[in-house]
C-alpha cells in the first residue's frame, strides 16, 4: 500500500504512539484524520501538521462516533486506505486481595476501550475500505491494531489489561482471514515498554529500572519507532494476519 496520496485514520492519534504515527503518515504524504477523545490535543496536532491533517472527536466505545470519524476519513478522494488504532487505557488491580475481588466495572471499562474499541475501529474501517477501488495489486486497505507485550507476559495487577490486549492478538488472524478476499490486511503491533506520556509521570529511577529489564537496547522504546513499524506494515504487502512484538526481546517478569 502506497502511503503517499492515501487517506488514513489514526485513532488515539492525539498523543503517544498514535501521535507519532499520525506525524509519520502525514510526513509520508497521507491525508490523516486524527481521531481521539481529547479534542484539545487532537485539534492542536491537526493544526500543527497543517494541510492534509484534520481532527475528529471519537470515543472508541461510542459506535456513532467511530462511524462518523471513519466516514470523515473515507470522504477523501480515493477512500479510506489506512487505519491505525492506538486507543487504550490501563488499570492496575489484582484479581483478589485484602480489598476484595477485582472490581467488575474497572475490568469492563478496560475491555470496552481496549478490545471493544479496537473492534469498533476495525469493523467500521474495514467496511469503509470495501467501497474503495482495489489497486493493481488487488489491495484495498490496511488495518493496524495495537496490543502489548502484556498480551503474552501479563504482570501482577494486569489481568484486565492483559485480557484486553490478548483479545486483540486473538482476533488478528481471523479478521485477516475474513477480509483476505477483499484485499484488506490486518496486522497487530505488540509494543513493550515505551516512553509515552503515561510513563512520563513516573520518577526517573523507575523509568531507568524499566529500561534495565530490556535485553537490548537497554532503553525505553520511542514512539517514532512504533510509527516507523506501522508505516512499514502499510507498505509491505506480505505482512498480514500477524502480531509483531516490538520490545527489544523483553519478556516481562511477574512484577
> Would you write out the chain's pLDDT as a tens digit for each of its 255 residues?
999 999 999 999 999 999 999 999 999 999 999 999 999 999 999 999 999 999 999 999 999 999 999 999 999 988 999 999 999 998 888 999 888 999 999 999 999 999 999 999 999 999 999 999 999 999 999 999 999 999 999 888 999 999 999 999 999 999 999 999 999 999 999 999 998 877 766 678 777 888 889 999 999 999 999 999 999 999 999 999 999 999 999 998 888
Q: What is the pLDDT of residue 93?
A: 85
Q: What is the pLDDT of residue 45?
A: 98
Residue 1 lies in a domain: no
Q: What is the pLDDT of residue 201?
A: 63
Q: What is the pLDDT of residue 177?
A: 98
Distances (CA, A) of 69 to 35, 41, 47: 7, 16, 17
Q: Report phi then psi at 244, rounded to 5.
A: -110, 120
Q: Are 114 and 88 in contact (CB under 8 A)?
A: yes
Cell numbers linked to 87? 486507543
**Each residue's pLDDT tens digit, 109-155:** 999 999 999 999 999 999 999 999 999 999 999 999 999 999 999 88
Domain count, the chain: 1
Q: What is the pLDDT of residue 225?
A: 98
Residue 178 lies in a domain: yes
Per the annotation, the verdict on 31 as an active-site residue is no
Active-site residue among 124, 161, 194, 226? 161
CA atoms of 142 and 168, how far apart (whole Å):
16
Three-state DSSP at 113 gives helix
SS3 content of the chain, % helix, strand, coil (to 5): 45, 20, 35
Query: Domain of 187: which CATH number?
Result: 3.40.50.720
CA atoms of 27 and 92, how far apart (whole Å):
36
Q: What is the pLDDT of residue 202?
A: 67
Residue 2 lies in a domain: no
Q: Are 253 and 155 in contact (CB under 8 A)?
A: yes
pTM comes to: 0.94
CA atoms of 52 and 170, how far apart (whole Å):
34
Residue 98 lies in a domain: yes
Give the up-direction half-sphere exposure of residue 19: CA atoms within 13 A in the CB hemisphere: 19
Residue 54 lies in a domain: yes
Residue 251 lies in a domain: no
Residue 252 lies in a domain: no
Q: Which residues have a Cβ under 8 Å from the Cβ of 138 and sit 6 or more positions away?
A: 183
Domain that holds residue 217: 7-246
CA atoms of 18 and 34, how far apart (whole Å):
9
Residue 21 lies in a domain: yes
Amino acid at each position: 500500500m502506497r502511503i503517499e496520496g492515501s487517506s488514513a485514520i489514526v485513532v488515539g492519534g492525539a498523543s503517544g504512539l498514535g501521535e507519532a504515527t499520525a506525524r509519520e503518515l502525514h510526513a509520508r504524504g497521507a491525508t490523516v484524520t486524527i481521531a481521539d477523545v481529547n479534542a484539545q490535543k487532537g485539534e492542536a496536532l491537526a493544526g500543527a501538521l497543517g494541510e492534509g491533517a484534520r481532527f475528529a472527536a471519537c470515543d472508541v466505545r461510542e459506535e456513532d462516533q467511530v462511524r462518523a470519524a471513519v466516514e470523515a476519513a473515507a470522504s477523501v478522494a480515493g477512500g479510506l486506505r489506512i487505519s491505525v488504532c492506538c486507543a487504550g487505557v490501563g488499570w492496575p488491580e489484582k484479581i483478589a486481595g485484602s480489598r476484595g475481588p477485582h472490581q467488575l466495572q474497572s475490568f469492563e471499562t478496560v475491555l470496552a476501550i481496549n478490545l471493544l474499541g479496537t473492534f469498533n475501529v476495525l469493523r467500521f474501517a474495514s467496511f469503509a475500505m470495501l467501497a474503495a477501488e482495489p489497486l493493481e495489486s488487488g489491495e484495498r486497505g490496511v488495518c493496524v491494531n495495537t496490543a502489548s507485550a502484556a498480551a503474552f507476559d501479563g504482570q501482577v495487577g494486569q489481568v484486565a489489561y492483559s485480557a484486553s490486549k490478548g483479545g486483540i492478538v486473538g482476533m488478528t488472524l481471523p479478521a485477516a482471514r475474513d477480509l483476505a478476499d477483499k484485499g484488506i490486511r490486518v496486522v497487530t503491533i505488540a509494543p513493550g515498554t515505551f516512553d509515552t506520556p503515561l510513563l512520563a509521570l513516573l520518577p526517573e529511577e523507575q523509568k531507568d529500572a524499566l529500561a534495565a529489564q530490556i535485553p537490548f537496547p537497554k532503553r525505553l522504546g520511542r514512539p517514532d519507532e512504533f510509527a516507523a513499524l506501522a508505516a512499514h506494515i502499510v507498505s509491505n504487502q506480505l505482512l498480514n494476519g500477524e502480531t509483531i512484538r516490538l520490545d527489544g526481546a523483553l519478556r516481562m517478569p511477574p512484577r
